[in-house]
Amino acid sequence: MNAPERNPRRAFIAAAGAGVAGLGFTAIAPGLHLMAVGEANAAARPAGTAASPAVRWGLLIDATKCAPGCTKCIDACHEENGVSEQLPDPRQNSQWIRKIELVDRRNGRVTTLPMMCQHCATPPCVDVCPTGASMKRADGIVLVDRHTCIGCRYCMMACPYKARSFVHTNLSEQNPEVPRGKGCVESCTLCVHRVDKGQQPACVEKCPEGAMTFGDLNDPTSAIAKRIASVPTTQVRGDLRLDLGVRYQGI
């Protein structure tokens, strides 16, 4: 009698199950793939290929689902990006993502939302950077190249969203995939190291309310593009016409 792994039908069922569980897709036969439903990100970009300008990564945050007092997205960000320093002056701590509370004074209605780098299509931080360290990748992710950042903090002044932080102290607890250090400006990277592997940003993955959707704004079949096409969404300070990658619903 065959061992279970030798039985081709059982192997197929196991492979299909694994594909649905997390791999994204599974080959059923040559050229025929079983696609998993609910996968928000595409497969990992193959090694050796550059970020594509056809893609525009974005986030949709549903503020109606964001729970007041919950800081799971911030904790996930700190863990993923190795943000752990606590300085004597807390205003100097790095802040890649923060929770904002909006109160309607007339009726007391409270709305909370996470706020981070909005990944503008025309980022003011890139405009003002004197060394070219502040940059936008082809797929719309705004990053700081620490190799050329001189820590002048012009970008912090230019950012309308207060998204950037300056590292004031020597660090030793960085994650290998997220280098950060004293004297450079930093901000949300949209977890670029995860996105390149085909994963979602840490905050999106850890949000218990499912209030954040990550995906390709340029792909009309993506969950985020469909949602933006069907419900009213807001760009914060849309009057600045920066064409933001992060959109909000319910504010």
Closest listed residue to residue 211, CA positions, set 226, 196, 224? 224
173 binding another protein? (CB under 8 A)? yes
**DSSP β-bridge partners for residue 99:** 114
Looking at residue 172, its amino acid is: S
91 binding another protein? (CB under 8 A)? no
174 binding another protein? (CB under 8 A)? yes
C-beta of 4 vs 69, nearer to another protein: 69
Contacts of residue 185, Cβ cutoff 8 Å, sequence gap at least 6:
134, 144, 149, 151, 153, 155, 156, 164, 165, 166, 167
Give the one residue of 175, 209, 237, 241 binding another protein; rule: CB under 8 A. Answer: 175
Give the one residue of 2, 49, 221, 230 binding another protein; rule: CB under 8 A. Answer: 49
Stretch 50-89: interaction string toward another protein, x if CB under 8 A = xx-------------------x---x-xxxxxxxxxx---
Q: Are 35 and 25 in contact (CB under 8 A)?
A: yes
250 binding another protein? (CB under 8 A)? no
CB atoms closer than 10 angstroms to residue 235: 17
Residues contributing to the site for another protein (CB under 8 A)? 45-51, 71, 75, 77-86, 135, 137-139, 143, 145-147, 170-171, 173-182, 184, 192, 196-197
